């Protein structure tokens, strides 16, 4: 009963989430030369770097998909994931005045960072559309399932954002550990290269939902081989459980936020 009441309260703050997300986007790009172009610059730069490096030192099997498109189709959702994590980590500490002085559902703050990261994702998606047009790649009717993959990823990100936001307020060194963890996580996922689906590395797909999520993006958009069914099912379960468990934990430790912010 208490959880249902808290959930209704959180839904009632949906307009505040949107307002805070707009504030975050404006603050991020207001005084920059490229503005929202920075949402495109980072994944494009990484795509170019990896395309040059891996074309010289490795010959990854991408199933006939041009490597720049293959890499960008992984970097785009990965940047969304990384943006949710890093933005969520700072969401409570950056708004310490609100946390200590104003009563509202504190989940609003990490959720607003998720929404801001989605804005960058949509802007950067224009480059992927351009690359696919350049290489003559046309998605099939299965692309209609793309929103389900995005929903899985966002649900997973929401859960992690709440966990990291609360943990970073309790232990401020979490944000520094996160920087290393995000880098390691990227290379442990199929962001810029395909991972084996058998053997020890294949098991990473069962505990790391990002790999089957990225493989699903590529399958629906580029016609790449779909993820292993078992990995996709495991990812769906993790993505469904994570936000619920994170929210329950967040509500339990929230009473300490006022004295720590």
pLDDT tens, the chain, 261 aa long: 566 777 787 888 889 899 999 998 888 877 766 666 778 888 999 898 888 887 667 777 888 899 999 999 999 999 999 999 999 999 998 888 888 777 778 899 999 999 999 999 999 999 999 999 999 999 999 999 999 999 999 999 999 999 999 999 888 889 899 999 999 999 999 999 888 877 776 787 789 999 999 999 999 999 999 999 999 999 999 999 999 999 999 988 887 776 555
**pTM value?**
0.92
209 closest CA partner among 184, 233, 182, 244: 233
Spatial neighbors of 224 by CB under 8 A, at least 6 apart, are 62, 63, 65, 70, 215, 218
Q: 113 with 93: CB under 8 angstroms?
A: no
């Amino acid at each position: 009963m208490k959880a249902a009441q808290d959930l209704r309260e959180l839904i009632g703050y949906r307009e505040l989430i949107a307002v805070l997300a707009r504030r975050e986007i404006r603050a991020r790009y207001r005084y920059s030369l490229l503005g929202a172009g920075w949402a495109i610059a980072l994944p494009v730069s990484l795509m170019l770097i990896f395309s040059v490096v891996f074309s010289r030192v490795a010959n990854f099997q991408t199933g006939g998909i041009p490597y720049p498109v293959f890499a960008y189709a992984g970097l785009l959702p990965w940047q969304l994931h990384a943006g949710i994590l890093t933005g969520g980590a700072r969401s409570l500490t950056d708004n310490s005045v609100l946390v200590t002085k104003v009563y509202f559902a504190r989940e609003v703050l990490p959720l607003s960072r998720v929404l801001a990261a989605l804005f960058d994702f949509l802007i950067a998606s224009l480059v992927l559309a351009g690359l696919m047009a350049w290489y003559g790649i046309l998605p099939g009717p299965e692309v209609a399932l793309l929103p389900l993959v995005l929903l899985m990823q966002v649900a997973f990100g929401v859960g992690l954002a709440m966990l990291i936001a609360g943990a970073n307020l309790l232990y401020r060194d979490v944000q520094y550990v996160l920087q290393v963890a995000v880098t390691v996580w990227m290379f442990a996922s199929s962001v810029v290269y395909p991972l084996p689906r058998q053997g020890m590395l294949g098991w990473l797909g069962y505990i790391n939902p990002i790999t089957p999520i990225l493989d699903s993006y590529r399958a629906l958009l580029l016609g790449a081989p779909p993820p292993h069914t078992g990995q996709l099912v495991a990812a769906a379960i993790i993505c469904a459980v994570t936000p619920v468990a994170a929210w329950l934990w967040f509500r339990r430790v929230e009473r300490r936020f006022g004295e720590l912010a």
